[in-house]
Structure 1
Amino acid sequence: MAGAETSMGDIQRGNTLPNGDVYVGNFAGLVPHGFGKYMWTDGTLYFGEWDTSKMTGKGVIQWPSGASYDGDLSGGFIDGTGTFKGVDGSVYKGSWRMNKKHGRGTMVYANSDTYEGLWNEGLPDGFGKYTWNGGNIYIGSWKSGKMNGRGVMRWTNGDTLDCNWLNGLAHGKGFCKYASGACYVGTWDRGLKDGQGLFYQPGSKLPYNLEVSESVTDQDVASASGSSNENINNDLSFLLQRLCNMWRIRSLFHRPRRISNGTTPVLDDNSGNLLSQDSSTEPVSTDESLQDNGGDKVLVYEREYVQGVLISEKPKDHDSGMLHSSKTQENIWQKQAGGPMETIFKGHRSYYLMLNLQLGIRYTVGKITPVPLREVRSNDFGPRARIRMYFPCEGSQYTPPHCSVNFFWKDYCPMVFRNLREMFHIDAADYMMSICGDDSLKELSSPGKSGSIFYLSQDERFVIKTLRKSELKILLKMLPKYYNHVRAYDNTLITKFFGVHRITLKAGRKVRFVVMGNMFCTELRIHRKYDLKGSTQGRSTKKENINENTTLKDLDLSYVFHVDKPWREALFRQISLDCMFLESQSIIDYSMLLGIHFRAPYHLKTASSEQGSLERCGIPDDDLLDYEDKNSWKGFLLVAHEPGTTVGGSHIRGSMVRASEAGYEEVDLVLPGNGRYRVQLGVNMPARAQKVREDMNTELENPGTIEEYDVVLYLGIIDILQEYNVSKRVEHAVKSLKFDPFSISAVDPSTYSKRFINFLEKVFPEQG
């Protein structure tokens, strides 16, 4: 800038202000206006344009530390476009808003790393390219300074990973292409391969939707980076799409969870090498292992990982057609890789229904929350306990204008469900933000035969299910007894209901919803899900219908689970109480939803990696010593509970379970590499899974290699809205003519309850 060489003598010859600052330049009355030079008492120097005492226009700021800024200012703030040079040698050139990097910009860090892309409130946020000084490159989405969302990582060794990212680590579906030509398609969990996937040897034929179709060059990146400021978002989006089109796997990806703020836009080791080290050591079968029984070369393998440890590998069946027919390849891949949910977007069949639901819940919760909390009364359950409202598009005296379709809204028993939410410490504002915030809901594929549609809030805390009219009647009929049962038993395993609503569209179509707690809202990956009823007729899943998102059934379960003795006693005490309640309401067809998080097999881990993971969890040295001596839990560590330090279960209240191995104290579960979790009944419960027979539908490991796993369990009783009515009696009579009457699901409530408990007692046997 023109005045940059102005000497300190010029400033000192200016006017000294009453506060000791010095100003030389033009005035408007008594305040600086126009061009001038200003020096504060701490030595900070500014020379540039002013507007009625505010730095506004072009200017240069020099701080005593040696940092400087040259660019636009507005209202006394750095605002516009400019260049900042830090004391450490870092340089940022780009857009600013109120003293913070905001918009498009390029940052060259002191260690020579470079970020080029979008910023928000001083942190990389949006689309951008990060280049480490070692040459590794990431191009994709950022959130609060960390890689978050869809993106592609390219390492100097030639490996490339196209994946979803969360908090700086690969997290979700992804496709890794190695420099050797090998490929792995599967799931990552916090930077580690986790779950089922397909490994393609070099030279193997990829499915049609994974074949390389084009490449992205450095010229493409430079072209996008040189675009105008207003087009940067579109240009980088286009660039990312081109990267993703290198492998056509759009169906793999879903929006990740929101993450906490970060401060450093790099991986854990500040080099981008964390995942490259994992990928560069991808095991490749020897030539001998590439031969199948017929002597043909096997190029594709089905693999399963648990926290980065390979526990299963088998050749892909040639008969599946994946190696021969490109059309069959695409169909099979889409079926296996397609996720269990999709974000509802504009144009989606459920888009306007979602908007109506969000509008109605926001209205109801906002209306009931200011009412002072009180005990539920009998008239809070009656037919008059309803809130009804019409929502025209143009708005009304009571409702805001909206961009959806006209609809009528009905909210059932609002005071009852308000008290239920209070029981589980669900804040009204959090509840509305979770369901009615800026983010869309996600639609899940239905796990049952009811035809219900399931939606999931973006933070995954709540499940919203459509109800049949008969189910709504049953729920409202049992609601008083349900409320008393939930209030009496803090640790009940029965589904948590938080709201019941109905939307009536202009054509007269009525859609009923119930909002429930998501029992699988956990930071841990759920590797297997089972829906267990205790019946056997029709309770298995066809092998061709199974993928990692499938909810399996009774006959698919090939494990028993050993838990601490006090936990088992508390578990079955609560199951018996819950079943007694359901039996009193003539309810059948309910099931135990069981979610399993597998830990990596202990004997496949090294002691050093295990201890390092514990140290990263912040476990004291004394506890580490106890951990090394405690062989019974192997991959787990149980420590005395410390309030405020653990991750609790979603919508869980009541007392914690006590562990006999910890002196019958309330305990926290420490998972190496993950964190510390509060252990409660049915939530974060560590157990030992023991293989009792060969799984009918999936192969989890090489036979004879592993017989037991450390697992974390999540349990809950679901589907409690089916009465034993006339139609169920007829179903029982008809099916009994063909099948064993005790094997079918439709039996009387007393028989159903006993059979259900007896089956679970076999799943959770007593330890000898």
Structure 2
Amino acid sequence: MATAKRKQIKVKTVQQKKRLFRSKEPLFSVFMWGINHTVNELGHVNIPVMLMPDDFKAYTKVRVDNHLFNKDNMPSHFKMKEYCPFVFRNLRERFGLDENEYLNSLTTRLVDIDSPGRSGARMMMSQDYRFFIKSLVSEEVEQMHHLLKQYHQYIVENRAETRLPQYLGMYRVTVTDVETYLIVMKNVFSPRLPIHKKYDLKGSTVDRHASDKEKSKDLPTYKDNDFLNDGARIHIGPIEKEKLLATLGRDVEFLTSLHLMDYSLIVGIHDRERDEQETKQNPQEDEEDVEVEQENGYDVEGGEVGDIMSSVPTPPESPQLFNSQFEGDLDPKTERYGVKSAEDAPRKEIYFMALIDILTRYSMKKRTAQAAKTMKHGAGAEISTVKPDQYAKRFMDFISKCIE
């Protein structure tokens, strides 16, 4: 009897690829690796229904030595520390941010950008322009810890209706024994609509104008005196003005209660008419030419794309990944800070407005600076360094006059 021939099945084994976070700069590589690690770790933990006092002191810390022995992709030794993971996870949820979106945006590629401020802070942006990463000094980290519990409570009580920065995560990255503190925030501006003009407003007129160096940039950050000299106005109509001032008033009152000052309102203006004209003159290239691995991406590179933006960032004039045409509605997830101009406004514009740089406390250093500036400019001068309650009142008065 013939024996039955056994059918042979060949199985080809495929080695699973490991996700790599390669960049020209080790800081970027480690940060992306750390975001991937911390978000995935949180996914295996039961998130508490209610935050406890200890959650505002908690942190996670990981140290890696000779990671895969692969020095081409990662440093041989590095550390990643995440502060208050449950708190920031809760904040991301309250701001309507999905964890996978956060993970994918911050682990694909980081864009290094200019920092025009005096602090010299390092600034980065996720490639999709949704998230802004800024370096902090140790004093600012301490101030964030001091602020975080009240900030979280304020966001909860106001159901995330605020013009304050959206703080989404805080980390410490250590590479070759150099510690870098980083905070992740939502980008104030739109990831799809280019900004054509930008102002940083404090309500002060002493030394508040853009320098010649700043004006030479493609997108300068103008200041209070420039706004006044331009005869600029924020044309959003009486109803939107009332809503905006009510929100800003609550936010400023909150900052004053914590003795914070020296904050400003960043105003980014998207000129719809100009954008339509530029789009007609320069049609975008076929989007199929742009390849970005995200959801299941491997061998992902993160690199510097040059000084595309300055200050609080904005997409380039002709973004490759996004259609910049405005079709009538703002995206509530990515354009929450935006307000459309009124129907009867002189120009069709969209204003992106938020409070920034809110971590400055009215300390002895600020008191000394106030005394020195008062001696230099006189008691009646509108210097920026004043007591928090004075700062708040002057700020709100000025902003109110800027809006029509």
Question: TM class, shorter-chain normalised?
Answer: 0.7 to 0.9
Tell me how far apart the structure 1 counterparts of residues 352 and 114 of structure 2 sit (CA, whole Å): 20
Return the offset for 1:538.
Answer: 1.4
Contact 1:455 1:465 in 2 (8 A): yes
Residue 135 (structure 2) aligned to one of 463, 466, 476? 466
Q: Deviations over 1:162-217 (max 9, x none)?
A: xxxxxxxxxxxxxxxxxxxxxxxxxxxxxxxxxxxxxxxxxxxxxxxxxxxxxxxx
Structure 2 vs 1, CA of residues 672 and 731 (structure 1 numbering), >3 Å: closer, same or farther? closer
Residue 27 (structure 2) aligned to one of 345, 353, 364? 353
- Residue correspondence of structure 1 range 289-688 to structure 2 within 5 A: 346-347=23-24, 351-373=25-47, 374-382=49-57, 385-394=58-67, 403-437=74-108, 440-489=109-158, 490-507=160-177, 509-543=178-212, 545-546=214-215, 547-557=217-227, 558=230, 559-600=232-273, 674-678=326-330, 683-687=337-341
Contact 1:677 1:684 in 2 (8 A): no
Contact 1:388 1:409 in 2 (8 A): yes
Residue 737 (structure 1) aligned to one of 375, 381, 387? 375
Tell me how far apart the structure 2 counterparts of residues 460 and 354 of structure 1 sit (CA, whole Å): 16
Tell me how far apart the structure 2 counterparts of residues 465 and 358 of structure 1 sit (CA, whole Å): 14
Tell me how far apart the structure 1 counterparts of residues 372 and 242 of structure 2 sit (CA, whole Å): 38
Tell me how far apart the structure 1 counterparts of residues 143 and 328 of structure 2 sit (CA, whole Å): 40
Structure 2 vs 1, CA of residues 406 and 30 (structure 1 numbering), >3 Å: closer, same or farther? closer
Tell me how far apart the structure 2 counterparts of residues 734 and 750 of structure 1 sit (CA, whole Å): 20
Secondary structure, aligned partner of 2:112: strand
Secondary structure, aligned partner of 1:568: helix
Contact 2:125 2:133 in 1 (8 A): yes
Return the offset for 1:466.
Answer: 0.3
Return the offset for 1:451.
Answer: 0.8
Return the offset for 1:586.
Answer: 0.8
Return the offset for 1:708.
Answer: 3.1
Tell me how far apart the structure 2 counterparts of residues 673 and 747 of structure 1 sit (CA, whole Å): 42
Return the offset for 1:393.
Answer: 2.2
Match of 1:752 in 2: 391
Return the offset for 1:676.
Answer: 3.2
Return the offset for 1:601.
Answer: 7.4
Contact 2:265 2:355 in 1 (8 A): yes
Q: Percent identity?
A: 30
Tell me how far apart the structure 2 counterparts of residues 346 and 756 of structure 1 sit (CA, whole Å): 42
Match of 2:311 in 1: none
Q: Deviations over 1:206-235 (max 9, x none)?
A: xxxxxxxxxxxxxxxxxxxxxxxxxxxxxx
- Residue correspondence of structure 1 range 75-474 to structure 2 within 5 A: 346-347=23-24, 351-373=25-47, 374-382=49-57, 385-394=58-67, 403-437=74-108, 440-474=109-143
Structure 2 vs 1, CA of residues 523 and 512 (structure 1 numbering), >3 Å: closer, same or farther? same
Secondary structure, aligned partner of 2:234: strand
Contact 1:732 1:746 in 2 (8 A): yes
Structure 2 vs 1, CA of residues 454 and 689 (structure 1 numbering), >3 Å: closer, same or farther? farther
| Pairs aligned (count) | 336
Tell me how far apart the structure 1 counterparts of residues 247 and 385 of structure 2 sit (CA, whole Å): 23
Secondary structure, aligned partner of 1:729: helix
Q: Deviations over 1:390-424 (max 9, x none)?
A: 1112359xxxx962241122111000000011112
Residue 761 (structure 1) aligned to one of 396, 400, 403? 400
Return the offset for 1:598.
Answer: 1.0
Tell me how far apart the structure 1 counterparts of residues 6 and 147 of structure 2 sit (CA, whole Å): 76
Contact 1:491 1:574 in 2 (8 A): yes
Letter in 1 for 2:82: D
Return the offset for 1:389.
Answer: 1.4
Structure 2 vs 1, CA of residues 386 and 739 (structure 1 numbering), >3 Å: closer, same or farther? same
Secondary structure, aligned partner of 1:466: strand
Return the offset for 1:346.
Answer: 4.6
Return the offset for 1:503.
Answer: 1.7
> Would you tell me which structure has more strand in proportion to its own residues?
1
Tell me how far apart the structure 1 counterparts of residues 210 and 22 of structure 2 sit (CA, whole Å): 32
Letter in 2 for 1:355: S
Tell me how far apart the structure 2 counterparts of residues 418 and 545 of structure 1 sit (CA, whole Å): 37
Letter in 2 for 1:379: D
Task: Give the RMSD, CA atoms, in angstroms.
Answer: 3.1
Tell me how far apart the structure 2 counterparts of residues 358 and 560 of structure 1 sit (CA, whole Å): 40
Tell me how far apart the structure 2 counterparts of residues 420 and 496 of structure 1 sit (CA, whole Å): 8
TM-score, normalised with respect to structure 1? 0.41
Q: Deviations over 1:232-271 (max 9, x none)?
A: xxxxxxxxxxxxxxxxxxxxxxxxxxxxxxxxxxxxxxxx
Secondary structure, aligned partner of 1:747: coil
- Residue correspondence of structure 1 range 13-24 to structure 2 within 5 A: none
Return the offset for 1:542.
Answer: 3.0
Tell me how far apart the structure 2 counterparts of residues 542 and 512 of structure 1 sit (CA, whole Å): 29
Tell me how far apart the structure 2 counterparts of residues 672 and 450 of structure 1 sit (CA, whole Å): 32
Secondary structure, aligned partner of 1:675: coil
Task: Extract unaligned runs of 5+ from structure 1.
Answer: 1-28, 32-51, 54-74, 76-343, 610-670, 691-706
Task: Extract unaligned runs of 5+ from structure 2.
Answer: 13-20, 281-322
Q: Deviations over 1:550-572 (max 9, x none)?
A: 11111111211221322111111
Secondary structure, aligned partner of 1:504: strand
Return the offset for 1:689.
Answer: 11
Letter in 2 for 1:745: S
Q: Does 1:710 align with 2:379?
A: no
Return the offset for 1:345.
Answer: 8.0
Secondary structure, aligned partner of 2:141: helix
Return the offset for 1:425.
Answer: 2.1
Tell me how far apart the structure 1 counterparts of residues 324 and 141 of structure 2 sit (CA, whole Å): 44
Contact 1:394 1:402 in 2 (8 A): no
Secondary structure, aligned partner of 1:678: coil
TM-score, normalised with respect to structure 2? 0.76
Tell me how far apart the structure 2 counterparts of residues 475 and 497 of structure 1 sit (CA, whole Å): 10
Match of 1:613 in 2: none
